[in-house]
Amino acid sequence: MRRYISLIVFLLCSIHIYAQSETEIEQKDAGFQYVKSYSDSLIEKRRMEAQYVLSYFDSIKVDKILYSPSWYSRVPGSYFFVILDTEDKDEYFIRKSGDTLTVMKTGLSYYQGKSQKHMQKLYEKAQPIFDPERYMHGTIKWVPSKPLGCRVKYHYFQYVTARNVIILEYNLFDVGDGCQLLNPDLFVYLFIRLSDEKTEYEDSLKEKEEKE
């Protein structure tokens, strides 16, 4: 049920409309239009958070994918979903609060029955996710010209090589353009996985507090 709720929210976010201010529009090489909006300090802050999170895995010399949306949370902190290019393609749900990291190894065993089959199919369709040639290289810090309005303020993504070279980094508002910059199956997979893990984490904390 939570997976379907997450998917509904995802779709609603991608079609909701808000008024766009008059700002300069630049045409990027990939053919997408973006509205210049973010300051260097904002993306620098997100990059520093990502580097801090990924430093937890410094001893594992493989490519890494990190995804972190900005959204309303019952439990303050930043949330991340990390996939490592290990043999088992290990996945981690991470909460950062100040300098404290809560790191939880996870996987598709989180789901059961049809939900597990659906997520497995989505994950397989997204392959190969660790192929640098599939991604638009560089740092993208533009808000797309397409309208959007929902609780998810922006989506931050990094593809980092085993040598800690950032292949792709973006910090965007638009869900739809996030799909185009990556691929729809990977973006939806990351969104649902992190959303479900975050909900489960917050519910467990609430249950623990009620017992105390």
pLDDT per residue rounded down to tens, the chain (212 residues): 555 555 544 544 443 323 333 333 343 433 334 444 444 666 788 889 999 999 999 999 999 999 998 765 555 578 999 999 999 999 999 999 889 999 999 988 878 888 889 999 999 999 999 988 887 778 776 554 444 444 446 788 999 999 999 988 887 765 555 556 667 788 889 989 999 999 888 888 888 877 77
What is the distance between the alpha carbons of residues 118 and 4, in angstroms, rounded to a whole number? Answer: 11
What is the distance between the alpha carbons of residues 81 and 84, in angstroms, rounded to a whole number? Answer: 10
Are 155 and 69 within 8 A, CB to CB?
Answer: yes
> Looking at residue 105, what is its pLDDT?
95
> Looking at residue 53, what is its pLDDT?
96
Six token digits for residue 121: 């199919």
Q: Residues 6 or more apart from 172 whose CB is under 8 A from it?
A: 34, 140, 142, 143, 144, 154, 155, 178, 181
> Residue 42 carries which side chain, given as an amino acid letter?
L
> Looking at residue 73, what is its pLDDT?
58
> Looking at residue 72, what is its pLDDT?
57
User: How many CB atoms are located within 10 Å of the residue 125 CB?
Assistant: 13
Q: Describe the strand order of the beta sheet including 33-36 as a list of residue ranges.
A: 25-27, 33-36, 142-144
Q: What are phi and psi for residue 182, nearest 5 degrees?
A: -100, -105
Six token digits for residue 28: 């990027």
The shares of helix, strand and coil residues in the chain, as percent rounded to the nearest 5, are: 40, 25, 35
> Minimal CA–CA distance to 97: which of 134, 136, 52?
52
**Residue 54, CB half-sphere, CA atoms under 13 Å: how many?**
27
> Looking at residue 110, what is its pLDDT?
74
Are 154 and 171 within 8 A, CB to CB?
Answer: yes
What is the distance between the alpha carbons of residues 61 and 11, in angstroms, rounded to a whole number? Answer: 36
In the chain, which ranges are continuous DSSP H helix?
A: 2-15, 40-54, 113-125, 175-181, 184-211
- Angle at 35 (CA atoms; ends 161, 191), nearest 5 degrees: 50
